[in-house]
Structures are given as structure tokens and as C-alpha cells.
Amino acid sequence: NVLCISITGHKKKHRQRLYPSFLARKAEHRAEHRAGKKACVKRVFVINPVAGPKNPAEQLRPMIASAAGQCSDEVEVLETTHAGHAGEITERYASCGEPVAIYACGGDGTFNEVVQAAVGKPWVMAGCVPYGSGNDFVRNFGGREAFLDIPAQLKAEAHAVDTIRTEYGYSVAICAAGL
């Protein structure tokens, strides 16, 4: 299952030239993970409390707390307070330069903010926990059910994806145009 993605927008050869230390850390992390050693990825759930018909934090906080107890990674839960806040949070964690998985808990707008801030930073992985009204991104993968499985989200391995750059920003998996 592709539940968490690393958004780079670069070809693999280019990525290796630009970020060799990250690729070495990523390979080391995978080897440790497979050997059953403690993983070293910080996981941050960014909840948009105004996404969807009711506040997703009410349902998500207990689910995340329960799953975090089974996870060896550090897990943090934050709520957005204003438009653009999910992107600001992603930028803050990205600036550390250490592997981090940011899970956008909300709608396509929340996920878009995380994506815009994660592009070009292969140490930042973006996950989507769909609690919005449309959830167009996850519809491309068969629906939202698999994405709502928090323990699976925490165990998922990141996969790099390419992006489409437009005058409005970056797009992952979907880029629609109309007349």
C-alpha cells in the first residue's frame, strides 16, 4: 500500500547527486527497520479541525494515540489554526533536515499545503488521512478506507513520486484543467 509518499519531483539520478547523505541515511534506516531495530523517523499528524462536516480531531486523537503506542517512532499530533498552517508546520519540520513523515489529516486542501512545502525535500514524506468532504487524492487509490488505517499509515514505507509543476504550484497524481 502506498500510504506515505516522498515528493521530490526529481529524477533518481539527479536526486542521488543532490542528496547523497539523505540516501545513505534512508538505506541505513531501511536496513535497521528490516532488522527490527528502532526506526528513526519522526511522524507528525497535522489535523485540520475545520475539514469535513465535523472536527476530525475528536476521532483521530484517540486512534493516533493507540497506534503510536505500538510504534517505535516518535509521534506528534498538531492542529492547524489558520489557512496555510499545515504548510508552515511542514516547512518547520523540513528545515531540520532529518527524516520526517507529515500526515495531512483533513481534506485535499490540507494535503495540498503539505505537498507544496514537501516538494524537493526527499527527507520529508507526506501522508494523507482523508477527513475532508471531497478527498479527490485518495479516490485515485480506490477510496479512503485504507488511508484511515492509522497503524498501517505508521508502518507504511514511503515511495517517491513525481510532481507536475503548474503556475499554481505542484500537483501529485491529479492535475485537472477546464474550459
Above pLDDT 90, what percent of the chain?
43
48 against 163, higher pLDDT: 48
Pairing of strands 100-106, 169-171: unpaired
**Grid cell at residue 116:** 507544496
Higher local confidence (pLDDT), 26 or 121: 121
- Residues with Cβ within 8 Å of residue 5, at least 6 apart in sequence: 125, 126, 127, 158, 159, 160, 161, 172
Give the chain's radius of gyration (CA, Å): 16
Checking if the pLDDT of 141 tops 90, the result is no
Residue 57: what pLDDT? 92
Amino acid at 43: R
Ordered DSSP codes for 68-131: HTT-SS-EEEEE--STTHHHHHHHHHHTT-S-EEEEEEESHHHHHHHHHHHTT-TTEEEEEEE-
Label residue 19 by pLDDT band (50, 70, 90).
very low
| Residue range 70-89: mean pLDDT, rounded | 94
Element (H, E) at 46: strand 42-47
Query: Per-residue pLDDT for 131 more than 90?
Result: yes
Q: Enter the pTM of the model.
A: 0.79
**35-49, 83-97, 118-132: segment of lowest average pLDDT:** 35-49
pLDDT tops 90 at residue 89: yes
Are 64 and 150 in contact, with CB atoms under 8 Å apart? yes
Kindly indicate the confidence band of residue 92, based on its pLDDT and cuts at 50, 70 and 90: very high
pLDDT in tens, 44-75: 999 999 998 888 999 999 999 999 988 888 99
Three cell numbers written together for 152: 498501517
Closest alpha carbon to 109 in 138, 91, 90, 83: 83
Q: Would you say residue 14 has pLDDT above 70?
A: no
